[in-house]
């Protein structure tokens, strides 16, 4: 399996985010997160509900099993908490605050991005993970310009109502898998992808990251590789999202 790509390892790492989630709505944003969610559903987490990106919940073969328009998502699924979202991030800080809104001063940004979208509501209502295809200091910053997704420090400052269901779970990048289990909920490495060094992670992160206890991200099984390559992503779109 020497020919396994970094993208394929990342797909499996994202799939692992959903392990144990059961019958909840998985909402992956991006190619690798979508493949990861579909891989988890096709293997060890068959209960997951998957959106088609529009208004339908669909089985692995595309059979529609449910209706979930945007308003139902925001009125019931998000506040009810039966969801695990994997969002992208233009910036993330050591406490898990995430920015997809704008770079620079909010009143007149240097770069307008999407807006906060559903990130504030997602992060205080249900499990949230992040996917960063290119781990770099411009993403992993000392302080985010706009708090869209709420990190552990800001949830604590906002009080019990913000903390009650707050659950920023993991960050998967092209270098490794991270959580916020360090002292005061700071980001730490859980595993580095095969071949990645601690120096690489340190160089690509603006704040210190504890890597001493990190293991190595597991390799895809032969069955998982076959599913990724032949069933889920035969066009290899994943390779465009992650450099090898």
> Does 158 participate in binding another protein (rule CB under 8 A)?
yes
* Stretch of residues binding another protein (CB under 8 A), selected from 6-14, 53-61, 173-181, 222-230: 53-61
Least distance from another protein to the Cβ atom of residue 149, Å: 8
Cα–Cα distance, 162 to 197 (Å, whole number) = 36
Q: Which listed residue (118, 133, 176, 220) binds another protein by CB under 8 A? A: 118
Helices (H), the chain: 6-17, 31-42, 70-72, 78-80, 119-125, 152-158, 160-163, 198-203, 222-226, 238-241
* Stretch of residues binding another protein (CB under 8 A), selected from 21-29, 103-111, 174-182, 190-198: 103-111
> Does 207 participate in binding another protein (rule CB under 8 A)?
no
Cα atoms in the Cβ-side hemisphere of radius 13 Å centred on 219: 11
Which residue carries 């709420």 as its tokens?
A: 150
Q: Which listed residue (147, 196, 209, 228) binds another protein by CB under 8 A? A: 147
Least distance from another protein to the Cβ atom of residue 79, Å: 7
What is the 3-state composition of the chain as percent helix, strand, coil, each rounded to the nearest 5?
30, 20, 45
Q: Which residues bind another protein (CB under 8 A)?
A: 54-56, 67, 69-71, 74-75, 78-79, 101-102, 106-121, 123-125, 146-150, 154-155, 157-162, 164-166
């Amino acid at each position: 399996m020497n020919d396994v790509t970094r993208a394929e390892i990342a797909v499996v790492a994202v799939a692992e985010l959903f392990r144990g989630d059961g019958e909840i709505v998985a909402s992956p944003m991006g190619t690798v997160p979508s493949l990861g969610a579909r891989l988890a559903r096709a293997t060890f987490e068959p209960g997951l509900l998957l959106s088609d990106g529009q208004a339908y919940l669909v089985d692995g073969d595309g059979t529609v099993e449910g209706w979930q328009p945007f308003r139902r998502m925001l009125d019931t699924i998000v506040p009810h908490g039966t969801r695990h979202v994997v969002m992208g991030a233009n910036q993330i800080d050591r406490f898990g605050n995430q920015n997809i809104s704008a770079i620079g001063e909010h009143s007149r940004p240097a770069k307008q991005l999407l807006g906060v979208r559903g990130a504030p509501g997602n992060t205080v209502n249900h499990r949230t993970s992040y996917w960063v295809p290119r781990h770099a200091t411009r993403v992993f910053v000392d302080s985010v310009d706009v708090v869209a997704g709420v990190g552990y420090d800001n949830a604590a400052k906002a009080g019990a109502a913000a903390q009650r269901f707050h659950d920023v779970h993991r960050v998967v990048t092209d270098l490794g898998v991270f959580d916020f289990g360090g002292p005061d909920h700071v980001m730490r490495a859980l595993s580095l992808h095969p071949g990645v060094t601690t120096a690489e992670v340190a160089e690509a992160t603006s704040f210190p990251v504890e890597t001493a206890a990190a293991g190595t991200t597991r390799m895809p099984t032969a069955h998982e590789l076959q599913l990724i390559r032949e069933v889920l992503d035969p066009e290899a779109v994943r390779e465009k999202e992650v450099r090898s």
